[in-house]
Amino acid sequence: MAQLICKDLSLGYDGEVIQDKLNFEVTEGDYLCIVGENGSGKSTLMKTILGLTKPMGGEVLFEEDLTAKSIGYLPQQTLVQRDFPASVKEIVLSGCQGRGQKRFFYTAEDKAMAKKNMQRMDIYDLRNRCYRELSGGQQQRVLLARALCATKKMLLLDEPVTGLDPRVAAELYQVVKDLNEKDHISVIMISHDIQAAVQYAKHVLHIGSHNFYGTRDEYVKSALGQQFISVEKGEEAAHA
Ligand SMILES: Nc1ncnc2c1ncn2[C@@H]1O[C@H](COP(=O)(O)OP(=O)(O)OP(=O)(O)O)[C@@H](O)[C@H]1O
Ligand SMILES: [Mg+2]
């Protein structure tokens, strides 16, 4: 059953359309990878799904017991955010606050949820450490634990492995795969790592000057998929 449907969804800012009439859906237990060139509107799409940016047209429809606030979100990281001066525990706990709604106190239930998710992400021993002193991989686990405090159903991850070395990136992909397969959490992930996208995703949404939405296998066989996969391979070879 569809948990989320984007129907003729148009994205943009200040009257300028970036993507026009996107159509796709996410079913329970799905793993959707969103790929596409820089600036094509991938992060804007996530923010629009979360209600943080207004759609320019069309709509985002949720199943009955899912709302934008009950989706876990790991935003695209900037260098400034990596330098955030708070403890791991505080950051994970802040995931218990619905986005946009501020509370001064955390309940015993919130604290138990934060503890459970720190244990789940294997960072409980780091709980009193300062976030900015952690490695990139540890920081992403903290943000994943934070996102999990907001949801039992769906995670939106915006480039979660950027800046991580291949071994740590592979570990993070495994963590996300387990959340998807064992805990049945639907995943929407933006990634520039096309190899990983076609390895883990069940569906692929490619946005850019040309768009594609379909199953992973359909994408791999499509002209757009073939072209994008070979360009990425060429870039990898050039960097090797
Ligand atoms: N708050 C904003 N106000 C106005 N324009 C914006 C805003 N945020 C993003 N844009 C513009 O919208 C376009 C899409 O940006 P977006 O961040 O969604 O792209 P992206 O696909 O996530 O790119 P990347 O792969 O580099 O992360 C860009 O041209 C960007 O400059
Ligand atoms: Mg982005």
- Examine the domain organization and report whether 65 and 156 are in the same domain: yes
Give 43 Cα–ligand 1 centroid separation in angstroms. 7
Give 119 Cα–ligand 1 centroid separation in angstroms. 34
E strand segments, the chain: 2-13, 16-27, 31-35, 57-62, 71-74, 154-158, 186-190, 203-206, 212-215
Provide the pairing of β-strand 71-74 with 154-158: parallel
Of 106, 130, 150, which closes a domain? 150
- Examine the domain organization and report whether 157 and 130 are in the same domain: no
What number of CA atoms fall less than 13 Å from residue 113's CA on the CB side? Answer: 20
Answer whether 78 contacts ligand 1 (Cβ < 6 A). Answer: no
Nearest partner of 143 among 135, 36, 28, judged by Cα: 135
- Examine the domain organization and report whether 158 and 225 are in the same domain: yes
Within-domain flag for 236: no
Of 150, 167, 192, which closes a domain? 150
- Examine the domain organization and report whether 194 and 204 are in the same domain: yes
- Examine the domain organization and report whether 219 and 160 are in the same domain: yes
Within-domain flag for 238: no
Number of domains in the chain: 2
- Examine the domain organization and report whether 36 and 46 are in the same domain: yes
Residue bearing the CA closest to ligand 1, atom 9:
44
Residues 83-122, buried b or exposed e (16+ Cβ, 10 A)?
eeeeebbbbbbebbeeeeeeeeeeeeebeebbbebbebbe
Residue bearing the CA closest to ligand 1, atom 25:
38
Residue bearing the CA closest to ligand 1, atom 24:
38
Give the domain extent around 46. Answer: 1-71+152-231
Mean pLDDT of the residues in the chain? 92
- Residue showing tokens 């002209």: 223
Tokens of 54: 């207004």
Tokens of 94: 């802040």
Residue 10 contacts residue 17 (beta carbons within 8 Å): yes
Task: Quote the CA–CA distance of 133 and 123 in Å, as a whole number.
Answer: 14
pLDDT tens for 90-133 read 999 999 987 656 677 888 999 999 999 999 999 999 999 999 99
- Examine the domain organization and report whether 67 and 34 are in the same domain: yes
pLDDT band at residue 237 under the 50/70/90 scheme: low
- Examine the domain organization and report whether 66 and 31 are in the same domain: yes
Average pLDDT over residues 34-60: 96
